[in-house]
Amino acid sequence: MKNKFLLIILVLFLVAGCATPMVASLEKHKNHYLPILNPHKGLIYLYRESSYVGSLRGLYVDIDGKRSGALNSGTYFVYEADPGERVIVVENWLGKAPYRIVNVEAGKRYYVKAGIKAGLWDAVPYINISDKEEGRRAISDLVYATMKQKDLQKN
């Protein structure tokens, strides 16, 4: 009985491991993002610091219900947003997706950190709003990477 239970647990871990998305296919850029100053828009910098935990998983980011980009370990991208309330969601393959709301003002910059923390059975995504200094410091060490237009469609 004990062996059957262990076998079932092993199979469950195997199935869960095979069902999770891997790193996102991103185009890495040699230079950092250079903002085009548009006084009628706000910029949202979304980033994920380098970490061993969850490094083989990509995080897909939706803004206002639309796929806007993805983050691998050590990358960031920038979203040009119209003023107003923006709902930023990190897709979670296990359940309720974590989200944050950013009230965007024209001409301002916002920094949103996403990542993966170790959970009991699997890695769990998280998302937090960072202050300006922390965000700038983190992004200086990361790679600017974007999704190809064709990949921005949700599967």
pTM of the model: 0.80
Q: Could you give the C-alpha distances from 97 to 13, 25, 61, 62, 107, in angstroms and in order? A: 21, 21, 10, 10, 29
Supply the pLDDT for residue 18: 44
Q: Calculate the average pLDDT of the chain.
A: 84
Tell me which of 3.40.50.300, 2.60.40.2890, 1.10.287.70, 3.40.50.2300 is the CATH number of domain 22-152: 2.60.40.2890
C-alpha to C-alpha distance for 144 and 155, rounded to whole angstroms? 24
Supply the pLDDT for residue 134: 96
Q: How far is CA 23 from the centre of its chain?
A: 11
* 27-71 confidence digits (pLDDT tens): 788 888 887 778 999 999 999 999 888 778 889 999 999 999 999
Supply the pLDDT for residue 15: 47
32 or 149, greater pLDDT? 32
Q: State the alpha helices, DSSP H only, in 24-86.
A: none
Taking Cα atoms as reference points, which of 71, 64, 51 lies closest to residue 117? 51
Q: Is the pLDDT of residue 113 over 70?
A: yes
When pLDDT is averaged across residues 81-97 and rounded to a whole number, the result is: 89
Supply the pLDDT for residue 112: 98
Q: Is the pLDDT of residue 14 over 60?
A: no
When pLDDT is averaged across residues 130-153 and rounded to a whole number, the result is: 87
C-alpha to C-alpha distance for 152 and 155, rounded to whole angstroms? 9
Answer positive or negative: Cα dihedral of 24, 25, 31, 37: negative
Supply the pLDDT for residue 154: 61
